[in-house]
Amino acid sequence: MGIIRRIVLALSLVLLTCATWPGQTPEAAPKFEFADVHPSPKPAIAANQFMRTTPVRNGRYQVHTASLLDLIRLAWGYDADHILGGPPSIDLQRFEIGAIVAEKDANATPPDTLKVMLQALLEDRFALKVHKDTKQLPGYALTAGKKPNLKEADGSGAIGCRLIRPPAQTTGVVALNGQAVAAGPSMLVHYTCAKITMEAFAAALRTMIGSGVGASQVLDETGLKGKWDFEIHWSLGLNRNVEAETITASEAIEKQLGLKLEQRPVPTPVLVVDSVNENPAPDPPGTAEALPPIPPPTAFEVADIRPTDPDSRGASFRIQNGRLTVQGMPMIFLLSRALNTATNEQIIGLPGDFDALRFNINAQLPAGGDSDFDILSMGPLLRNLLVDRFRMKYHTEERPQTVYRLTVVKPKMKKADRESRIGCRNANGPPGSPRGTTVMTCQNTSMERFATQLRNTSPRISWPVVDGTGLEGGWDFSLTFSRVAGMNVAGGRGGEPAVNGGQAAVASDPEGGVTVFDAVEKQLGLKLEAVKRPMPVYVIDHIESKPTEN
């Protein structure tokens, strides 16, 4: 036995030595060489802020206006609703991040590598600690009806579900997320699925346009084995023609496939925040020298501008592959993008005959920049283009402008637990809801924050929203409304509703949808009133109807 013990001890020492032998340790996780982290500047006008990221350019990676929740979501790939724990204000403070990647990865750092680098940054600068878990969260279950209408796969065709070109009887085709979608009265999307299991179909529903399930988990509880072939179509619910025949995804699944999509709690993978510092540690020495500020570009390399053919239909505004491509856009739209206005009412003095003028632009973005362009960063380039090619002159001043003021009628909200997470989440209404139904769930949310978030909840809210309730602290409540209810109400320029006696005019929806105005009053005991208040505006002193020669 003594000899055996000595052999075992010797082998253990050899294994230990091998495990710690120089060059044998696992490769260290990649990290940013330098990273600057600082709070984002406050916007001049209260508005929702959204995280923006740019790919690695010349060794620099950038993230703009990102909350801690955004950064965790970006680093681990979880939906925001599936990140639990952390301080109440984890989604409030916004940050700017500029980081240097290793030189060898300067132009082709894989996305998964960037995630690992961002994880290390959050752990280092915010002392973030997380763990993975599974919780029962709201989701969906796909179940079999009495008579499933599916065909067993015959072995031909591509595997999975894909969009197909709409039938010939539709009135045309539009592009949505780069895919062909019918432009008929019902705005139908058509999918063909081949050799697909029910488990794969349930998972695919999360990415299918207009399915309404969002990021929620969808469980396969059909009990159907094997692979299947079928086609399915449903309405997007984006058309304003309330008389058009529509069918929701859940209705299509039941009527066309003989299956059912039911809402219920389901086991969902989550990421739990154990601890985090809301204020980042200071930048390490040398960061400022390694990450000098980059002056933002103010002009396109080259730009071609032409009036749109009067017979052409459709309009688009795309930033892709280093180019800005604009098709059929009116001048008021170009001005709103150039001046970054919250509403068209902030643009004064545009001649009335410009309403009928549309333009096409094909512009090359500046070369060698360290960031991709988005709507906000495009503003100065478009503004200078209009000044140069349309001889535009303008000035700014303050004038009374229309806003929605949120006021109190008889509050029906619950005072929040101060330790609960602050914020609002939007989700699609349950199966069978009127088209465009949104459920907005807020917890520990101030009225000022709620007013800001209301601005982007519905096309009907086309003016800024300000808090006039006088209610202090955080509140818990839920708001259910239809994004498209009342869209047939006649309005002013830019889609604003008519204003009568200080209140926005709304109309009932034939499909039973509730407008956001009615929902705010009936469900929350608040009211949205259209009022005037001084706001900064852009006054167009001069602009020509034809651009100078290209």
Give the lowest-confidence range in 97-101, 208-212, 507-511: 507-511
Is residue 425 located within the same domain as residue 500?
A: yes
Give yes or no for residue 515 having a pLDDT over 50. Answer: yes
> Within a domain: residue 127?
yes
Residues 184 and 121 in one domain: no
Element (H, E) at 478: strand 475-482
Enter the pTM of the model. 0.76
Tell me, yes or no, whether 384 and 467 share the same domain: no
Answer whether residue 53 shows pLDDT above 60: yes
* Token couple for 20: 């710690």
Q: Which band of pLDDT confidence, cut at 50, 70 and 90, is reported for residue 321?
A: confident
222 and 324 in a common domain: no
Averaged pLDDT for residues 49-68: 85
Provide the token pair at 226: 């094997």
* Coarse DSSP helix, strand, coil percentages of the chain, rounded to the nearest 5 percent: 20, 35, 45
Q: Which residue has the higher pLDDT, 172 or 84?
A: 84
Nearest Cα residue to 357 out of 395, 319, 397, 305: 305
For 477, half-sphere exposure in the C-beta direction (CA atoms, 13 angstrom radius) is 21
* pLDDT given for residue 319 in this prediction: 80
Cβ–Cβ under 8 Å, residues 106 and 56: yes
The interaxial angle of helices 375-389 and 331-339, nearest 10 deg, is: 120
Instruction: Provide the pLDDT for residue 107.
Output: 56
Gap between the Cα atoms of 97 and 112, Å rounded: 18
Residue 63 and residue 126 in one domain: yes
pLDDT of 497 over the 80 cut: no
19-51 CB burial, b ≥16 within 10 A, e <16: eeeeeeeeeeebbbbbbbbeebeeeeebeebeb
- What's the mean per-residue pLDDT of the chain? 82
Report how many domains make up the chain: 4
Specify whether 363 is located in the same domain as 409.
no
Same structural domain for residues 334 and 363? Answer: yes
pLDDT tens-digit map of 65-81: 999 999 999 999 999 98
Is the backbone of residue 120 left (phi > 0), alpha (psi -120 to 50) or beta?
Answer: alpha
Do 122 and 248 lie in one domain? The reply is no
Among candidates 38, 67, 37, which has minimal Cα distance to 422? 67
Residue numbers of the domain that contains 102 = 34-135
pLDDT given at position 382: 94
Domain presence at residue 7? no
pLDDT at 517 over 50: yes
Whether 337 and 408 share a structural domain: no
The model's pLDDT over 287-315, given as tens digits with 9 standing for 90+, comes to 999 999 877 788 999 999 999 998 888 88
Q: Which of 107, 135, 163 is the last residue of a domain?
A: 135
Q: Out of 103, 135, 167, pick the residue that ends a domain.
A: 135
> How many C-beta atoms lie closer than 10 Å to residue 494's C-beta?
14
Residue 6 lies inside a defined structural domain of this protein: no
Residue 482 covered by a domain: yes
Residues 168 and 130 in one domain: no
Percentage of the chain surpassing pLDDT 90?
51
> Cα(first)–Cα(last) distance of the chain, in Å?
94
Residue 424 included in any domain: yes
**In this predicted model, what pLDDT tens digit does every residue of 339-369 receive, in sequence order?**
988 788 889 999 988 888 999 999 998 864 4
Q: Look at residue 42 and tell me whether its pLDDT is greater than 60.
A: yes
> Same domain for 113 and 161?
no
374-421 pLDDT, tens digit each = 666 788 999 999 999 999 999 999 999 899 999 999 999 999 999 999
Is 310 within a domain? yes
Give the end of a domain, one of 227, 257, 287: 257
In a domain, 295, yes or no: no
Q: Confirm whether 168 is domain-assigned.
A: yes
Whether residue 405 is found in the same domain as residue 519: yes
